[in-house]
Amino acid sequence: MDEATLEIVRDWLTRASHDLYSARVLADSSKSPLDTAIYHCQQAAEKAAKAYLQARDEPFAWTPISANWWIRPLRWNPLSRNSSEPLKS
């Protein structure tokens, strides 16, 4: 992995770590809404998934989080791990 890609992966993982920290702080407070802590957990998972895809040099959709339930690689076939067939909706 080249240095530029490594820096992007680190950035995604740092952002994921910040979201997990925020989730812990919110979950530990009796006055914070739990759904907000859960939201930060989801954000952390999504950013970690982006880091993984970036590290594997897999293209993924850069759409707003609210538009997708999960980050999907642009090349993905659930029946084959090595396929580059596009996902059919």
Token pair in block for residue 33: 């809404």
Token pair in block for residue 5: 């890609």
pTM tops 0.75, yes or no: no
Torsion of CA 54, 60, 65, 69, to 10 degrees: -110
Each residue's pLDDT tens digit, 45-69: 999 999 999 999 887 766 555 444 4
**Is residue 77's pLDDT more than 70?**
no
Residue 44 banded pLDDT, cuts 50, 70, 90? very high
